[in-house]
Chains A and B, each alone.
Chain A
Amino acid sequence: MNAIEVDNLRRIYRPVMGIFRRKVKEIVAVDDISFYVKPGELFGILGPNGAGKTTTVKILVTILIPTSGSARIQGFDVVREAEKVRPRIGFILGGERGLYWRLSGVDNLRYFASLYHVDPGISKSRIPYLMELVGLEDRGKEKVEGYSRGMKQRLHIARALLHDPDILFLDEPSIGLDPIGAREVREVVRNLQAEKKTILLTTHYMFEADALCQRIAVINHGKIVALDTPEALKEVVKDLHIIEVEVFGIPSEVIERLQAKGFIENLAVENVEQRQVLLIQTARGSEAVPDILAILNGLRVGKISVREPTLEDAYVRLVGNKGE
């Protein structure tokens, strides 16, 4: 049996806009997605902000009801059998909220342990173990309000593990962390994987998904645009080369003219201060450079480089831009 099964899941938000004229706007956050996660697998959902990652996770952890479609955790329906799902899963929803800031880290864990009916005898040894696992063993007695963002996020992970669930949902566990904090969180995730936990992780960092996940669903505008292993996803851009061209103040007509060229498979523009970096995907490799320069004629051009594609480029190809 699969650990997680998702069938044709859809979720529409209908936020009420305005106080007097109650306009109702519809937002399709998750648009007919299906996937499964095998026991012990580390599965990634990768997508830009607003793609529907958090919505998907919230449905799976029973705090949001789907508009249509269904999902099962270890065979239990997340809507009809939420009570059976809840003790079997742990989750974090990213960010630093969701903790009792006036209490210490250890007190937060003690409280959630009681909510998850962890035997007091067990939590006595489990809490110190978890605090060590997430690298907070020296700070456990301090109030959470004094924790850094990364510490709060790691405390969340410890909270999710209190009842030793088989299945974990980690929604953007490294969001907003500095590179060191993010690396520490990834280390924790790797350790969990080694413990044979089933993990569903969402992220908008390509390299994080690449480094951690066995399979990745790339999601954009609520839809899965690709689902495969990182290696297979790279196949999308296998025959392409990436030409990076630095330009200064490129007009949009020139970008459109480049995009119209048949030999350019994909073009993304990154703004870096007053210059732009064109990321051009082409099958022609360095041979395409003179043609590109001909179109850029008259503009100030900086560095030009040709390189092999990475998973990042596959992501750019699938999602259409750098994901911002």
Chain B
Amino acid sequence: MASIRPFYLTKYLRVIASTFEMTFRQTVKDAFILFAVLFQPLIIAMLALWMLKDKGGQYIIFVVIGSGMTGLWSSLLFISGNGITVERWMGTLESLVAAPTPIQVVVIGKNLANVLQSLGSMVVSYILVSFIFGYPLSIAQPWLFLISLIITVVSFVCFGIIIASLFILNPDVQRWQNGLEFPVYILCGFLFPIALLPGWTTPLSYLLTPYWAALALHASAQGTGTIANISFAWGVMLGYSILYLFLSKRLFRVILKKARVDATLSMH
């Protein structure tokens, strides 16, 4: 995206904002999304809390954040992953492609809405757990945590573009999605540290941006990390994000060309 002039940047930011707004408005009433965003993380949080209740206070915040991340990942995988397909079903994809805005910009806006909605679930889990269960919850390093959260959002949004594009390329979307949900929970250390996994999986974790997000969020919340290793995680997330943006530009060019040749932008 090196050739983008400031002029375009404001236009694209406006598209991101309006896509965000309309995605948000369309999804607030969607039962499936409410389930993915609110109830699923809550159920996971309560189950985990119940299993870990003897482990002590420091575990609780780990669980709250971990369950929030599961919600974040599920929504990225299913909602962002299906974003383009849904537009195709609605018959709006052709209009999006024919508009003078690159489709990645629209995907960014949609992903941002989804990721922020899921973040809402983190907050809900947090509040519910601390009030109902009576556990005192506190964030050890609030500023580091906040920055981690923002960078997490950025990296998830960018990761979501790649997921969306790969899912258009691969027709067996459903199998991929279901197969990716739980392995990522585990590989990324959402709910227990990856140190518990066999050593050969560690490089896989390093390749996944949600791993670094979980690392930064867990460490800053519990106060177990140093500035050095938390900011290293930030750097990796931002690096991956730039990589994803570059990749997505290329991926979408190939995908859209193929779709216009194969006449798959609409359901015939």
Contacts and interface: CB of A to CB of B under 8 A. Distances in A.
B175 interface: no
A120 B11 CA distance: 10
B98 A62 contact: yes
B22 A111 contact: yes
B257 interface: yes
Contacts of B15: 114-115, 117
Contact of A98 (B92, B100, B261): B92
A183 interface: no
B26 A100 contact: yes
Interface in A69-98: 83, 86-87, 91, 93, 95, 97-98
Given A102-B25, A107-B22, A65 B101 contact: no
A93 B267 CA distance: 13
B138 interface: no
Contact of B90 (A62, A97, A107, A110): A97
Nearest to B95: A98
A112 interface: yes
Contact of B260 (A63, A86, A110, A120): A63
A58 B91 CA distance: 13
B201 interface: no
Contact of A107 (B25, B92, B101, B261): B25
A103 B92 CA distance: 13
A92 to B, nearest CB: 9
Q: Considering residues B11, B19, B265, which has the most beta carbons from chain A within 10 angstroms of its beta carbon? A: B11
Contacts of A64: 260, 263, 265
Contact of B26 (A62, A102, A159): A102
A91 B263 CA distance: 17
A112 B98 contact: no
B99 interface: yes
Given A65-B257, A65-B261, A100-B90, A117 B101 contact: yes
Interface string B8-33: 00010011011100100110010000
Interface size of B as a range: 20 to 34
Contact of B263 (A13, A98, A115): A13
A116 interface: yes
B97 interface: yes
Contacts of A3: none
B265 A63 contact: yes
Contacts of A58: 94
B96 interface: yes
A302 interface: no
Interface in B76-118: 90-92, 94-101, 106
A100 B98 contact: no
A61 B99 CA distance: 10
A contact face: mostly helix, strand, loop, or mixed: loop
B95 A112 contact: yes
Contacts of A100: 22, 26, 90, 92
Given A111-B18, A111-B19, A117-B11, A61 B25 contact: no
B91 A97 contact: yes
A15 interface: yes
B99 A98 contact: no
Contacts of A102: 25-26, 29
Q: Considering residues B17, B98, B257, B261, which has the most beta carbons from chain A within 10 angstroms of its beta carbon? A: B98
A212 interface: no
Nearest to B29: A102
B257 A98 contact: no
A306 interface: no
A115 B97 CA distance: 10
B55 interface: no
Contacts of A95: 91
B22 A112 contact: no
Contacts of A13: 263
Nearest to B101: A115
Contacts of B260: 62-65
B250 interface: no
Contact of B100 (A61, A86, A103): A86
Contacts of A61: 98
A324 B168 CA distance: 36
Contacts of A116: 99-101
B268 interface: yes
A264 interface: no
A135 B179 CA distance: 50
A46 B92 CA distance: 26
Interface in A103-132: 103, 107, 110-112, 114-117, 120
A64 B257 CA distance: 9
Given A100-B22, A117-B11, A120-B14, 13 more contacts: A15-B268, A65-B260, A86-B99, A86-B100, A97-B90, A97-B92, A98-B91, A99-B90, A100-B90, A102-B25, A103-B25, A111-B22, A115-B100
20 contacts: A58-B94, A63-B94, A63-B98, A63-B260, A65-B260, A86-B100, A97-B90, A97-B91, A98-B90, A99-B92, A100-B90, A103-B25, A107-B25, A111-B18, A114-B18, A115-B18, A116-B100, A117-B11, A117-B14, A117-B100
Interface of A: 13, 15, 58, 61-65, 83, 86-87, 91, 93, 95, 97-103, 107, 110-112, 114-117, 120, 159
Give 9 closest A-B pairs by Cβ, nearest first: A97-B91, A114-B18, A98-B91, A115-B99, A87-B100, A86-B100, A65-B260, A117-B11, A102-B26
